[in-house]
Amino acid sequence: MNVSTQNRRDFLKKSAAITVAPGVLLYSVSPKAHHAEKPVTSETRWGMLIDTNKCVDNCTACLDACVEEHGLTEDVPVEIKPVWIRKVTVRDKQTGRETFLPLMCQHCENPPCVDVCPTGASFKRADGIVLVDRHTCIGCRYCMMACPYKARSFVHEALENQKPHSPRGKGTVESCNFCVYRIDHGMGPACIEACEAEGHEAMIYGDMNDPESEISKKLKEMSSSVLRPDLKLNPGIRYQGL
């Protein structure tokens, strides 16, 4: 037998030659990308950190990017317009200080929308992204009522010319999907890209389970808060400066 005659040193030398060379590949092209052909796992938890001090008045870059990215452009009355992300102004009555923050699906760890969904259409992916599976959504809108952040919209009218990567249609509920197809291809959400392009850099995203990620480091370093912590939903979207 060849293997048995091989001494330990030779064996180690050979295996080192095999593993060290491709070892460079351990540093993947983009550390954020998961292998698109493999299922996502709970080793990753996607999250976002929004610095409200950097979010400015009169800027709608993230909102516009969302509308453009997902084709939320249908011509419908304002009451039924889809809103995946909106800008909220918080005003301190005492001091008059105004804070602006983008508000979208908070991608909770314990999402109430998933609890109430009667068909299992509203679900949380293993990597923490909360989605609506429109194939099974019956449009009952319980999730819209359950969401404390008012993050979900309902499509009332038949649509045409949807974006290929962001299917949406009449009779189903929808909300921010963390630009999940972009995430799966190693890119960030469109709103964050737009905020960066505008030079505000108020939003970052990353894997909150990875202690080496930018978001984890910042969260450890600086104080941040979640919206409605009393509900114990542990949202994936965190805010600084609130």
Partner 1 sequence: MKILMILGKLSLGLLLIMTVSGVSSGEVSMPEIPKAKNNFSAEQSCVEPIDLMRREHGLLLKHYRHDTMRRGIRTSEYSLIACVNCHVTADESGNYPTVHHGSDHFCRSCHTYAAVNIDCFQCHTSKPQESFSSDMEPVQSD
Query: Residues interacting with partner 1, by CB under 8 A?
Result: 25-26, 28-30, 33-40, 123, 125-127, 131, 133-135, 158-159, 161-165, 167-170, 172, 180-182, 184-187
Q: Which is nearer to partner 1, 4 or 161 (CB)?
A: 161
CB 128 within 8 A of CB 44: yes
How far, in Å, CA of 224 to CA of 240, rounded? 5
What are the DSSP calls for 67-127, one per residue? HHHHT------GGG---SEEEEEEE-TTT--EEEEEEE----SS-HHHHH-SSS-EEE-TT
CB of 40 to partner 1, least distance (A): 4
CB 180 within 8 A of CB 106: no
Nearest CA to 165 among 142, 187, 149?
A: 187
CB of 132 to partner 1, least distance (A): 10
Q: Which is nearer to partner 1, 30 or 53 (CB)?
A: 30
169 Cβ contact partners less than 8 Å away, ≥ 6 residues apart: 134, 155, 158, 159, 162
CB of 164 to partner 1, least distance (A): 4
Q: Which is nearer to partner 1, 32 or 101 (CB)?
A: 32
Q: Which is nearer to partner 1, 170 or 228 (CB)?
A: 170
Helix (H, G, I), strand (E, B) or coil at 162: coil
Q: Which is nearer to partner 1, 184 or 200 (CB)?
A: 184
CB of 129 to partner 1, least distance (A): 8
Helix (H, G, I), strand (E, B) or coil at 47: strand
CB of 223 to partner 1, least distance (A): 32
